[in-house]
Chain A
Amino acid sequence: MNSIRVKKFDYIIIGAGPAGMAAAITARAHGLSVLVLDEQPSAGGQIFRNIETLEATRKSEFSKLGQEYESGSSLVRRFKKCGADYFPDRSVWQIDNNLQIHHVSASASKSNSAISHCQAKRLLIAVGAMERPMPLPGWTIPGVMPCTAADVLYKSSGFIPDGEVVLAGSGPLLLLIGCRLLDVGVHVSAFLDTSMNGALLKALPLLPKALRSHKYLIRGLSLLWKIRKAGIPIYSGIQNIEALGSSKLEKVRISKSGKFFDVKADLLLLHNGVVPNVQITRNLGCEHRWYDVQRYWEPIVDDWGNTSVDDVSIAGDCGRVAGAAISQVSGHLAALETVFQLGVISQAERDKLSQPHHIELARHNHVRPFLDKLFQPGKKWLIPENDKTLACRCEEVKVSEIRETVRMGIKDPDRLKSMTRCGMGYCQARMCGLTVSEIIAEENKVSPEEIGYFRVRSPIRPVTLGQVAEID
């Protein structure tokens, strides 16, 4: 067998979104050797997905995506020129204690399925966020998707939804994507608003601070206004949403004030906020805590993004979710810390260079507590009221089965997993993990903080035995 050839770098960054790209630029400016591994075929992350191709070949769509998206071009250009080694299409499937990283092609086929290895002095996790799964009856029927799926198809392929579209959920991203659909002439037949009743009142005490970043608020209000002006029927105070159809979505059943009614639909786009992707930080054993306002797990970090594990830090939305602008700032900060830790600059230099970023961070952070409170996910949409709803899509485990197991005295997510198979499928609990913590916590009348989360083991991504066997 061949022994492993390991290429060494000062700094390895996982993720080529706003945070990862910003960190690479700063680290390279101080002369570090940098490797960026990213699972997608091109740089930009989900927010600036496919940005280079769109700008070069489909100008009209590029400009339709708005100023924030356009702002990504200069970042991608600077990243591409910064001198970092950049490997797209790589899935990281294992990270050893000595920061040796094993990765494989994300679009693996016979020809390019071999595993590669590399080792870092310091590691940055910048893998971003994902949509919080919104389990409801029928959500496995083809034609039910999270709203970002429509965004991906638009940015990568220029496709737009065909037929009747129903939007359901709450959060700024749903408003943004909803408005984009209206801009390109998609027919939205209903907007099902699941935001918490009274959320605005609860968020109001945070408004004065938020007004200091009024740009965000004006943008949010204009999105809401656009949806109202378009004359789309908006339903709020909904009790239940159910997707109906067999091999394809046919209609969405809504229950409101004890009455049912159906809306014909070809596509149901769901959204219940965005949550950090903690698969890698969990796997590495970083400490996490429960963020109660937005109800998700986040790695515990200091001002520089350092986690509880030596030489591992995070930047961007795989920590507290804050959007593209803050992600870039946190990327620059994490890189400056690494440049300091590796002895290239002094602590005083680090502090001086990071000052503008800290100021920027403070400015953005004025509005975030308000938005987090305003778009707090409603409990009804975290744990489905209908017990027959599938919590685990891969192994088809119902909410009722999880409840029954918990009532047998099972409090530990991992024990529940071995008893029900919930979380054992291909997605490795990415789709059911939060729901499981929520259900166990609710049954025991405690916070998910006390319950914890599934232990995330390697491989972080499924790999074939054949691929692993190539390692000595």
Chain B
Amino acid sequence: MFKKQYESHETVSIIFEGKKLDVEKGLTVASALLVSGNTVFRSSVVSGEPRGPYCMMGVCFECLIEIDGIPNQRACMIPVRDAMKIKRQQKNKE
């Protein structure tokens, strides 16, 4: 959906759904996942339909995701940190 225009110079490693991803330092969790080709962040709490980032500026709360065990975090507002563990939020797990 989105791509980089140049190579990253400084990276951090995050773990998304148990898989290690090397991403550029300074990105938000939402940007880092999107550019790695991950578009689904959670399933809707009502129908279970897949959802991903929408507004990218903290307004819509679509990009809610579990970070280091804490659910419902706005991925578009949180910068990536080394060894951060990120998981999709699934409806049936609530």
Contacts and interface: CB of A to CB of B under 8 A. Distances in A.
Given A46-B57, A110-B70, A143-B39, A153 B31 contact: yes
A39, A153, A248, A426: which has the most chain B beta carbons within 10 Å? A153
B34 interface: yes
Interface stretch (A2-10, A159-167, A319-327, A361-369): A159-167
Contacts of A431: 59-60
A162 B77 CA distance: 22
Contacts of B74: 106-107
B56 interface: yes
B1 A109 contact: no
Interface residues of A, number: 50
B35 to A, nearest CB: 6
Given A158-B4, A159-B4, A106 B39 contact: no
A160 B46 contact: no
Given A157-B35, A396-B44, A146 B54 contact: yes
A246 B44 CA distance: 13
Nearest to B5: A158
A430 B60 CA distance: 7
B77 A148 contact: no
A206 interface: no
Contacts of A143: 1, 39, 52
B55 A159 contact: no
A163 B1 CA distance: 7
A158 B39 CA distance: 18
B73 interface: yes
Nearest to B39: A142
B56 to A, nearest CB: 4
Contacts of B62: 140, 393
B16 to A, nearest CB: 15
Interface residues of B, number: 45
A53 to B, nearest CB: 8
Given A107-B79, A109-B70, A427 B50 contact: no
A156 B28 CA distance: 9
Contacts of B28: 156-157
B47 interface: yes
A144 B60 CA distance: 13
A142 B3 CA distance: 16
Contact of A130 (B1, B2, B59, B67): B59
B14 interface: no
Contact of B61 (A53, A157, A427): A427
Contacts of A53: 26
A247 B50 contact: yes
10 contacts: A39-B58, A40-B57, A109-B73, A110-B68, A140-B49, A140-B51, A143-B52, A145-B56, A159-B4, A267-B2
Given A156-B31, A163-B1, A431-B59, 10 more contacts: A107-B79, A142-B53, A152-B56, A153-B31, A159-B4, A160-B2, A161-B3, A248-B40, A267-B1, A393-B60
